[in-house]
Structure 1
Amino acid sequence: MTTTSEEHVRPAHVVRDAYGALAAVVGPLGDEESWLPTDCTGWAVRDLVFHLLGDARRALVALHTPAARPPDRDAVSYWRDWTPDPVGAAHGRRSNRVAASMFLDFRQLRELYLETAAATVAAATATEPGRRVSTQGHVLTAGDLMTTLGVEATVHHLDLTVALPTAPGPAPAGLTAVRATLDGLLRRPVPLAWSDEHYARAATGRVPLTDSERDALGADAERVPLFS
């Protein structure tokens, strides 16, 4: 089953570790590697790095946007809004590629991402996890927001490295957060002996379920991907 520790990890440390692991992948990349494919349909490495830059920027804004009303999402229910949307996904892919193409030198994008990600980690470390914050029309505690950031970074880490076989893998804390989130969406521990990495990819639609996996999941197989 899981290859990671079940020990509780502070949300800020999930962000720190997940973003740090991604930085270890992105930091050494040059222009040639930036054109390699990823596991995100239609995106090369540089396109996904631009998307990750947007995630880090959104996180910085959210961590500095206090909310007065009670939370309406937590670290699990946040993902229930992110169900497959083929039209929206196609539009997002195109707009992201166009925007990423404005960086003629990948090094500029790489350095902007690395410094923004580092600022996000610093902001998360300095934020009380119980503070209420706003993002994408919802209110979460800062701790739950941090967990969602670590989950997204970890899933995209797996996307980013499909054509980078020597790149370091995701952080164990990030993989643990992904498993906990997916189990929460499934409403039970997954009844399959999946590694954390395979669980992340299969439950988000990166790889198709086999017939035996569908049988083991039963009716829950129809709910996969749990988020995209």
Structure 2
Amino acid sequence: MTDSQVPDASRVFVLRETYGTLAAVVESLGDEESWLPTACTGWAVRDLLFHCLSDAQRALVALHSPASVPPDRDAVTYWHNWSPAPVGAANGRRWVRVSASMFLDFGQLRDLYLETAAATVTAAAAADLARPVSTQGHVLTAGDLVTTLVVEAAVHHLDLVRDLPDAPGPAPAGLAAVRQTLDGLLGRPVPVDWSDEHYARAATGRAPLTPEERRALGADAGRLPLFC
């Protein structure tokens, strides 16, 4: 089944599962844990959480921003523009760190994220997922937008728990959506026996490839990371 054939109810279910699993981790975090490093270069837990908050806020805006033109991206091609750009990435990291630092009380940031993420799921459940919406300079259906939110949340869940060994990992349904997206970007099922979690890390530049993995991937090894 291609992503465009996934029933709308399933898309919302996966978003609810993925956001809910991440929220369960965030709910347990206190100020001390908020300073732990993550798998995102230069970001502590509180910085990454601010980024996730911004993504949920963007989703709320997009779900209420109907477009008058047809989609020019889907849940896979949405990621074509997300490639490593050292200067832009550094500026983005700096902006997030400065913005997150304005929350002197981590509890305020945590609670704002939790209520915004919950509102995003509610908005997605109420939306016409076939309707084109605008976000990040592109147009895609609301259903495809929901899938991109799942992918981002599942990958950042992995980032968040890097130094939280007792925290649960992402929802399996969310990681399955990441695999489907990465296979779509690769143009074929990945020819390496990777778990969904390792595939998510390796194909987004979070885990280095071994010589054996490079041989199995062939020319496609040079295309990784597929997005960051």
Deviations 1:141-186 (A, max 9, x none): 0100000000000000000000001111101110110000000000
Which residue is equivalent to 1:174? 174
Structure 1 residues without counterparts, runs of 5 or longer: 1-5
Q: Distance in 2 between matches of 1:120 and 1:55?
A: 10
Which residue is equivalent to 1:155? 155
Q: Distance in 2 between matches of 1:50 and 1:23?
A: 13
Q: Distance in 2 between matches of 1:157 and 1:129?
A: 24
Which residue is equivalent to 1:64? 64
Alpha-carbon contact 2:155-2:200 (below 8 Å) kept: yes
Secondary structure in 2 matching 1:133 = strand
1:8: Cα distance to partner?
9.8
Which residue is equivalent to 2:88? 88
Secondary structure in 2 matching 1:134 = strand
1:11: Cα distance to partner?
1.3
Which residue is equivalent to 1:113? 113
Which residue is equivalent to 1:23? 23
Alpha-carbon contact 1:151-1:177 (below 8 Å) kept: yes
Higher RCO, Cα 8 Å, sep 6+:
1
Deviations 1:16-65 (A, max 9, x none): 11110110110010000000010000000000000000000000000000
Q: Distance in 1 between matches of 2:92 and 2:14?
A: 27
**Structure 1 segment 3-152 matched on structure 2, within 5 A:** 10-152=10-152
1:7: Cα distance to partner?
11
Q: Distance in 1 between matches of 2:128 and 2:32?
A: 41
Structure 2 residues without counterparts, runs of 5 or longer: 1-5
TM-score for both structures, normalised by structure 2: 0.96
Which residue is equivalent to 1:224? 224
| Superposed structure 1 runs of 4+ greater than 6 Å apart | 6-9
Alpha-carbon contact 1:157-1:169 (below 8 Å) kept: yes
Secondary structure in 1 matching 2:216 = helix
Q: Distance in 2 between matches of 1:129 and 1:193?
A: 33
Secondary structure in 1 matching 2:225 = coil
Amino acid paired to 1:41: T
Deviations 1:71-110 (A, max 9, x none): 0000000000101111101001111000000000100000
- Determine what percentage of the aligned residue pairs are the same residue: 74
Secondary structure in 2 matching 1:10 = helix
Alpha-carbon contact 1:53-1:113 (below 8 Å) kept: yes
Q: Distance in 2 between matches of 1:213 and 1:8?
A: 35
Secondary structure in 2 matching 1:140 = strand
Q: Distance in 2 between matches of 1:206 and 1:7?
A: 31
Which residue is equivalent to 2:3? none
Secondary structure in 2 matching 1:32 = helix
Q: Distance in 2 between matches of 1:143 and 1:125?
A: 10
Secondary structure in 1 matching 2:31 = coil
